[in-house]
Amino acid sequence: MSQPESFPGLHAWLDTPLGRYVMAWEEARFDTLVADIFGYNAVQLGVPEFDFLRANRMPFRFKGGAGQVLVETDYAALPFAPASIDLVVLPHVLEFAANPHQVLREVERVLVPEGHVVIAGFNPVSLFGLRRKLVGECGAYPWHGQYLSLRRLKDWLALLSFEANCHVSGCFVPAMEQQKWIERLDFMDRAGERWWPIGGGVYIIHAIKRVQGMRLIMPKWDRRTRSRALAPLIQKTGRPSKGCSQQTTTEKNFGRD
């Protein structure tokens, strides 16, 4: 019996000529982005048919979600301890999730400070987005998803204390299902990367979880107050040992002033 899939229509579409064209571009970009991200634990959530962590060198890499995965989980309730994951790869989950905000909150929870998330999504400001508008919400995967613009996604990430490190878009060919037309129009990829770099059908964004450090604020003591504060410590210390004789002498000088 086959395992259930999170988005079964999407998985079937990925095996079409257009889906393979998209996945080929994403695999190449994921390989570049995750290769130099270091840590101990990395998880891929979504699209288990493809290994987007293959270029990463962390000792423990696994897939979560539904289907051919190591850990079956709901994306909105991840079964991982807080601050336990160094890298989360999130391909095409947010635009089809019932609550994408909660998915991102869970990703933020399980990531360590300075942890990384790499997200792939369909771009509404593109020819793919135009195809989605024409088909409408009643269309099949992947056209009925709630596509998130890069600007909107960056706002969501910023609210969760993520810092967007870089992003890239690709797949400028119109959303045609025939392989021959994808091959004939491949020149649009080169033109799009040069003249309209934010208008690709899909995008990938890399963000880092930032945690603000605490700064201890000390009272501003004057010389007299400081000597009174050190006096009990000097009395308790008594006769100094050889290893800290210089430090105790200094403390006594403070006591005399």
Q: Is the pTM higher than 0.85?
A: no
Return the beta strands (E) in 17-161 as ranges.
41-45, 60-65, 71-72, 85-91, 111-122
Label residue 47 left, alpha or beta by phi (over 0 means left) and psi (-120 to 50 means alpha). left
CA proximity to 22, closest of 47, 56, 59, 41: 47
Tell me which architecture the domain covering 8-209 has in CATH.
Answer: 3-Layer(aba) Sandwich (3.40)
Mean pLDDT, residues 82-95: 95
Lowest mean pLDDT among 3-12, 15-24, 188-197, 214-223: 214-223
Model confidence pLDDT, tens digit, residues 57-74: 999 999 998 888 899 989
Retrieve residue 244's tokens: 């800290």
Model confidence pLDDT, tens digit, residues 167-208: 999 999 998 888 998 888 889 988 888 888 889 999 999 999
CA proximity to 162, closest of 152, 172, 154: 154
Mean pLDDT, residues 35-62: 94
- Residue 136 sits at φ, ψ, to 5 deg, of 90, 175
Alpha carbon distances (Å) from 142 to 35, 151, 158, 195, 216 = 28, 21, 27, 26, 51
Strand partners, 91: 120
**Domain residues of the chain, as ranges?**
8-209, 223-256
Mean pLDDT, residues 155-173: 93
